[in-house]
Amino acid sequence: MTTSAQDTGHDDRRRAANGPDADLVPSRIRAEFAPESIYLDTATMALPPRRTLAALRTELDNWSRGVSDALGFDEPVHLARQRYAQLVGIDPSWVAVGPQVSSFVGLIAASLPPGSEVLTAADDFTSVLFPFHAQQPRGVVVREAPLDRLADAVTADTALVAVSAAQSADGRVADLDGLLEVTAGTDTRLLLDTTQAVGWLPVDASRFHYTTGGGYKWLLAPRGTAFLTVHPDLWDELLPVAAGWYAGEDRWDSVYGAPLRLAHDARRFDVSPAWHSWVGQAPSLELLLEVGTDRLHRHAVGLARRFQAAVGLPAHDSAIVAMATDTEMPRLLAAAGIAAATRAGRLRLSFHVSTTADDVDRAAEVLDGHVHAG
């Protein structure tokens, strides 16, 4: 049997990719997932663990039998708040919960004084951008800069920098240390959207004025959960424009009548939760904590690098890989049963706790020769 130079090169790249961090998920965690496809689309919507599905099915059954208890939904929300705080390295008192990121970004945008300048990254996800643009009629100024030059674009007039920790379209990671360095000791605030980051990228939320992220991607939840973290120094400064009964100090004693009696901590920014989504969020966060932030990061990035090496793409430190493809790509993905996404004109693959090294090798085998870094 004759081996071509092309085949030899492919095998060499595969061996180079097969490093010690290629697959770090324990077998008991791996058993929580049962996809029927090669699932590489967490950046769109994550796969749920078995424990999450079990919790949801139990509560849906309770609902159908008429035995659900509204007060009982406080427990999964409480657990999710605690577990998320642990995941991002802060006290739970910093954490507010709600249904979606844009509502929290909008809260911060609405609290900016007229004339404030907001600096954003060009082509960032619109849930990070639109709430600030919507404030322009009252004088808020929005300026943008390329992601890799965002820190250089901060000036003394910049009231807030709003940016995704990892870009949705292509997985590029913002220079968070550079932004923190250039804004240290200034009045410029930092808002970090962690929707495409927390769950695989270690994020210390205590370093930022605000962070917010949705749960249905890397946090493995049903759609309808989101988190906001607010530094305690800003609790009294940020206006809780969406305050409702769930933002009360004693939420079940805050359902009727004045006066205003909000929670003393970041719970004052809570938005009434979509109950069943939080039933799923709590056990999913439990699973992520069992794996551990460092292992989640090394696993996801290790698999991404394994794929990049196998198909000849340059490596980068992200769990999300975007690449240009030829016209054969849709047919190849469909025939191989590979779930992926197309964003900003490029194929986007994402590697998470549910991804195996075998998944990566099969995807590389299918796509090798059909993708490039353009």
Rounded Cα distance between 20 and 97, Å, is 37
Q: What share of the chain is helix, strand, coil (3-state, %, to 5)?
A: 45, 15, 40
pLDDT, tens digit (0-9, with 9 covering 90-100), for 60-114: 999 999 999 999 999 999 999 999 999 999 999 999 999 999 999 999 999 999 9
pLDDT, tens digit (0-9, with 9 covering 90-100), for 109-155: 999 999 999 999 999 999 999 999 999 999 999 999 999 999 999 99
306, two tokens: 């394994």
SS3 state at 366: helix
The model scores a pTM over 0.85:
yes
235, two tokens: 């609790």
Share the mean pLDDT of the chain: 94
Percent over 70 (pLDDT), the chain: 94
User: What's the pLDDT score for residue 7?
Assistant: 47
Rounded Cα distance between 154 and 267, Å, is 31
User: What's the pLDDT score for residue 21?
Assistant: 53
State the pLDDT confidence band at 15, using cuts at 50, 70 and 90.
Answer: very low
72, two tokens: 């009982």
Please say if the pLDDT value at position 26 is more than 90.
yes
3-state DSSP of 90-111: CCHHHEEEECCHHHHHHHHHHC
Rounded Cα distance between 163 and 192, Å, is 5
Q: What does the DSSP 8-state code read for residue 154?
A: -
Answer yes or no: are the C-beta atoms of 163 and 124 closer than 8 Å: yes
Q: Which residues are CB-neighbours of 137 under 8 A, at least 6 positions away?
A: none
DSSP letter for each residue of 275-330: HHHHHHHHHHHHHHHHH-HHHHHHHHHHHHHHHHHHHTPPP-S-SEEEEEE-TTHH
Rounded Cα distance between 321 and 316, Å, is 8
User: What's the pLDDT score for residue 16?
Assistant: 43
State the pLDDT confidence band at 22, using cuts at 50, 70 and 90.
Answer: low
Phi/psi at 160 (5° precision): -150, 140
